[in-house]
Amino acid sequence: MKILLTEPLIELVDNAGLDILRKMGTINVASGTSEDNLIKEAKDTDAIVVRMAKITGRIIESADKLKVIARTGVGVDNIDVVAATGKKIMVVNLPVMNTDSVAEHVLCLILAMAKNLLEFDREVRKGNWGIRDKLLPKNIDLAGKTLGIVGLGTIGMAVARKAKGLNMRIVYQSRRRKADAEKELGIEYTDLQTLLKEADFITVHVALAKETERMFGEEEFKAMKKTAYFINTSRGGVVDQRALYAALEGRRIAGAALDVFEEEPIRATDPILKLQNLVVTPHVAGHTKDSRIKMIVTLAEDVVRALNGKTPVNLVNKDALR
């Protein structure tokens, strides 16, 4: 068997998963993630393990031996699932095994902005002790502040539970109202426009789909408080990044924290990175040692099942079996 990694895995934490894959055959790492390169290198491979690269219909059509495509994450928007299903190629992903990791990262970003952590760090290193007084008007407590959660799925619920420990008022907007969650946590259901107007912090936890693409644009940022902070750890595509830049640059909102971007990796020359009221991390919210080991082992076990002709536990396209 030949297994192609579109991007290298991380040896120190991924060894347990790599050892499982090595028992099935040879592991190769692609020399590049362009479509033409992957067409060439996936030709005689049995399995593809992909992280961020795009697995297009052309790549799938050229891979005659391919049996399974495994995505090291929940979303499969970078895989042409329809083309894979048409060739009876199984697509597997990972269940949400990093829920706590992402929720903790969200709270980390919220606290970093509320307490001006990055600016204090930069200025103290320069010897500017007086920054403590200069930033006093911007240094706020979270107790009593309103957290707006857009998308109350598994991760949104975890964020709500953790934020309750900080004595925040929590409002949420989701496709489905969650009466049990409202009763358990004392959170409030509302429409998006009301959430935008009332929330001091807004965190996004929706999947990227046609109805959510660029759901946060100029009008949404205008509807927020000037003192509000915006956090996105879901998918870069749910935000119009130019509109966010304009809102931050014009101080129409107080700040933002992004773990995901419209294009990844984001270019170092992107104008948004020059803004001081923005905190950025490299799509790492769910990327901890603890969650990663569980995820890669689970994924490797599903790849083995597929290569052995068995049904993977986390199969995305069940029609591929017909």
Q: Is the pLDDT of residue 74 over 90?
A: no
CA distances from 209 to 8, 76, 168, 234, 241 (A): 28, 11, 30, 12, 17
Average pLDDT over residues 50-78: 94
CB atoms within 10 A of CB 77: 13
CB 224 within 8 A of CB 194: no
Task: Give the integer Cα–Cα distance in Å for 5 and 47.
Answer: 9
119 & 242 share domain: yes
Task: Give the integer Cα–Cα distance in Å for 98 and 95.
Answer: 9
Per-residue pLDDT tens over the stretch 150-176: 999 999 999 999 999 999 999 999 999
For the chain, give the percent of residues with pLDDT over 90: 90
Buried b (16+ CB within 10 A) or exposed e, 207-235: ebeeebeebbeeebbeebbeebbbbbbbb
DSSP codes joined into one string, 113-162: HHTTHHHHHHHHHTT-TTHHHHTGGG----TTPEEEEE--SHHHHHHHHH
Res. 10 pLDDT band, cuts 50 70 90 = confident
List 132, 177, 264, 267, catalytic entry: 264
DSSP state at residue 315? B
Do the strands 255-258 and 278-280 form a parallel or antiparallel pair, or are they unpaired? parallel
118 & 221 share domain: yes
Whichever domain contains 178, its CATH number is 3.40.50.720
56 & 155 share domain: no
Res. 97 pLDDT band, cuts 50 70 90 = confident
Provide the pLDDT for residue 14.
Answer: 87
Per-residue pLDDT tens over the stretch 291-313: 889 889 999 999 999 999 999 99
Q: Is the pLDDT of residue 9 over 90?
A: no
Provide the pLDDT for residue 13.
Answer: 77
Q: Number of structural domains, the chain? A: 2
Tokens at residue 185, please? 């946590």
230 & 276 share domain: yes
List 283, 287, 292, 305, catalytic entry: 283
168 & 297 share domain: no
Buried b (16+ CB within 10 A) or exposed e, 273-312: eeeebbbbbebebbbbeebbbbbbbbbbbbbbbbbeeeeb
Closest Cα to residue 295, out of 90, 96, 143?
A: 96
Provide the pLDDT for residue 60.
Answer: 98
> Is-catalytic flag, 105?
no
Task: Give the integer Cα–Cα distance in Å for 92 and 299.
Answer: 8
105 & 190 share domain: yes
CB 99 within 8 A of CB 121: no
List 235, 287, 292, 305, catalytic entry: 235
131 & 237 share domain: yes
Res. 287 pLDDT band, cuts 50 70 90 = confident
Closest Cα to residue 272, out of 284, 283, 260?
A: 260
Task: Give the integer Cα–Cα distance in Å for 182 and 178.
Answer: 6
CA-based diameter of the chain, in Å?
68
Please give the residue range of the domain that contains residue 29. Answer: 2-96+289-321
Provide the pLDDT for residue 142.
Answer: 98
Per-residue pLDDT tens over the stretch 99-125: 999 999 999 999 999 999 999 999 999
Provide the pLDDT for residue 292.
Answer: 86
Q: Is the pLDDT of residue 11 over 80?
A: no
> Is-catalytic flag, 213?
no
124 & 265 share domain: yes
- Whether the link from the prior residue into 265 is cis, omega within 30° of 0, is yes
Tokens at residue 266, please? 């984001």
pTM of the model: 0.81
175 & 79 share domain: no
CB 7 within 8 A of CB 31: no
Closest Cα to residue 59, out of 41, 47, 46?
A: 41
Per-residue pLDDT tens over the stretch 185-201: 999 999 999 999 999 99
17 & 86 share domain: yes
Provide the pLDDT for residue 95.
Answer: 80
54 & 153 share domain: no
Per-residue pLDDT tens over the stretch 242-279: 999 999 999 999 999 999 999 999 999 999 999 999 99
Res. 18 pLDDT band, cuts 50 70 90 = very high
Q: What's the number of CA atoms in the CB half-sphere (13 Å) around residue 286? A: 24
Q: Is the pLDDT of residue 4 over 80?
A: yes
> Is-catalytic flag, 283?
yes
* Torsion sign across C-alpha atoms 88, 27, 293, 153: negative
197 & 209 share domain: yes
